């Protein structure tokens, strides 16, 4: 009987399509990584192996400043987004269904639906007024903007985790006279931690990637790695951009591996 069960892997052409999809997904990235080690300044003709573009990128002050900005913004925005998303996820799952719940769900996920350029132009106009009025032009605007569009990305895994958790544990805690706070602190939160971690990492990576909103919101000296790389379009690309991309990619992969190892134990 088990032999007859439906399995996608037994469909005709499964292997071909799967391999084709993986090649399409990863070939450009492999090319990019390969040419970051090119000895010449070409991004399409191989001229031998060299670390020179990594050394150049490392010595480039503009790249250093942009990296610092990217990290400050991504860490702060991910922290804010995760806190907000956790509260929102608790508020939309750990209580009886109420009127307007769907509406709230839509509002939280609004950044996923609205085209990014629309948000970017709207923020450009609003922040323009605020910047003039307050005189403050620091990174705060970028952090706020990033926190806003990172929230739904943090929200979704946290909510999924909450929905999959066994409610009877929390009920048992309250039966044993735990206060709501104690229940949350000692039962819900530890169980929820992998979801929160996943949400935070996702928010961090999304913030690191962002170009459109950052390009419109940034003030003087606030280039992030992404907008810095976009700026290089004006002239011929050199493998320095490949080197920066590869470093970003490596950081992301390391983060994901760390996340995987962390959550595997708990599950």
Partner 1 sequence: MKRLLTATALLLATTGLARAEGVLNLYNWGNYTSPELLAKFEAETGIKVTVTDYDSNDVALAKIEAGGHGFDLVVPSANYVPIWVEKGLIQQLDLARLPNHANIAPEWRDVSWDPGRAHTIPWQWGSTGVAVNTSVYTGNINTSAIFLEVPEELKGKINVVPEMNDIVNLAVMYAGGEPCSEDTAVLQKARDLLLAAKPDWISMDYGATERLSNNDWAASVNWNGSTMRARLANPPVAYGYPQEGYPLFMDSVALLSDAQNVDAAYKFLDFIMVPENAAMISAFARYANGIAGSEPFMPEDMKTAPEVVIPAEFAAAGVFLPTCTGKSQEYITAIWTELQK
Q: Can you say whether the dihedral through the CA atoms of 83, 87, 88, 89 is positive or negative?
A: positive
The C-alpha torsion from 108 through 109 and 113 to 118, rounded to 10°, is: 40
The one among 171, 221, 250, 253 contacting partner 1 by CB under 8 A: 221
The minimum distance between CB 35 and partner 1, in angstroms, equals 11
Cβ 36 vs Cβ 246: under 8 Å? yes
The one among 20, 232, 256, 257 contacting partner 1 by CB under 8 A: 232
What are the DSSP calls for 181-247, one per residue? HHHIIIIIHHHHHHHHHHHHHHHHHHHHH--HHHHHH--TT---HHHHHHHGGGS---HHHHHHHHH
Cβ 224 vs Cβ 214: under 8 Å? yes
Please name the helix (run of DSSP H) or strand (run of DSSP E) that holds residue 253, with its range, or none. Answer: helix 239-266
Q: Which stretch binds partner 1 (CB under 8 A): 22-30, 39-47, 176-184, 257-265?
A: 39-47
Q: How far is the C-alpha of 156 from the C-alpha of 159, rounded, in Å?
A: 5
The minimum distance between CB 223 and partner 1, in angstroms, equals 6
Encoded one letter per residue, x for contact with partner 1 by CB under 8 A and - for no contact, window 100-129 reads: ---------------------x--xx-xxx
Terminal CA-CA length for the chain: 31
Report if residue 39 touches partner 1, rule: CB under 8 A.
Answer: no
Report if residue 43 touches partner 1, rule: CB under 8 A.
Answer: yes
Report if residue 218 touches partner 1, rule: CB under 8 A.
Answer: yes
The one among 67, 76, 86, 222 contacting partner 1 by CB under 8 A: 222
Q: Which stretch binds partner 1 (CB under 8 A): 14-22, 85-93, 130-138, 248-256?
A: 130-138
Give the burial string for 6-17 (b: 16+ CB within 10 Å, else e).
Answer: eeeeeeeeeeee
**Which residue lies nearer to partner 1 by CB, 99 or 234?**
234
Cβ 40 vs Cβ 47: under 8 Å? yes
Report if residue 170 touches partner 1, rule: CB under 8 A.
Answer: no
Q: Residue 215: which of 136, 145, 262, 115 has the closest Cα?
A: 145
The minimum distance between CB 24 and partner 1, in angstroms, equals 21
**Which residue lies nearer to partner 1 by CB, 191 or 230?**
230
Report if residue 35 touches partner 1, rule: CB under 8 A.
Answer: no
Report if residue 132 touches partner 1, rule: CB under 8 A.
Answer: yes
Cβ 193 vs Cβ 206: under 8 Å? no
Q: Which stretch binds partner 1 (CB under 8 A): 27-35, 148-156, 173-181, 216-224?
A: 216-224
Encoded one letter per residue, x for contact with partner 1 by CB under 8 A and - for no contact, window 176-195 reads: --------------------
Residues in contact with partner 1 by the rule CB under 8 A: 42-45, 61-62, 121, 124-125, 127-138, 215-216, 218-223, 227-228, 230-236
């Amino acid at each position: 009987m088990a032999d007859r069960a439906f399995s996608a892997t037994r469909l005709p052409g499964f292997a071909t399509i799967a391999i084709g999809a993986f090649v399409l997904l990863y070939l450009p990235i492999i090319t990019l990584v390969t040419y970051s080690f090119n000895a010449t300044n070409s991004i399409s003709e191989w001229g031998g192996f060299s670390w020179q573009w990594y050394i150049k990128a490392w010595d480039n002050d503009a790249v250093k400043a942009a990296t610092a900005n990217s990290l400050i913004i991504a860490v702060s925005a991910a922290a804010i987004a995760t806190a907000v998303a956790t509260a929102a996820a608790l508020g939309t799952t750990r209580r009886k269904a109420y009127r307007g719940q769907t509406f709230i769900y839509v509002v939280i996920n609004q950044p996923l639906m609205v085209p990014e350029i629309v948000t970017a132009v709207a923020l450009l106009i609003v922040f323009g007024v605020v910047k003039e009025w307050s005189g403050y032009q620091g990174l705060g605007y970028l952090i706020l903007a990033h926190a806003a569009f990172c929230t739904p990305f943090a929200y979704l895994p946290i909510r999924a985790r909450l929905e999959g958790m066994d409610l009877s544990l929390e009920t048992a805690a309250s039966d044993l006279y735990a206060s709501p706070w104690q229940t949350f602190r000692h039962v819900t939160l530890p169980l929820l931690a992998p979801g929160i971690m996943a949400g935070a990492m996702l928010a961090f990576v999304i913030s690191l990637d962002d170009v459109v909103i950052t390009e419109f919101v940034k003030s003087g000296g606030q280039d992030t790695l992404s907008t810095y790389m976009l700026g290089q379009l004006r002239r011929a690309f050199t493998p320095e951009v490949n080197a920066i991309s590869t470093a970003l990619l490596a950081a992301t992969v390391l983060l994901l591996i760390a996340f995987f190892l962390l959550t595997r134990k708990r599950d």
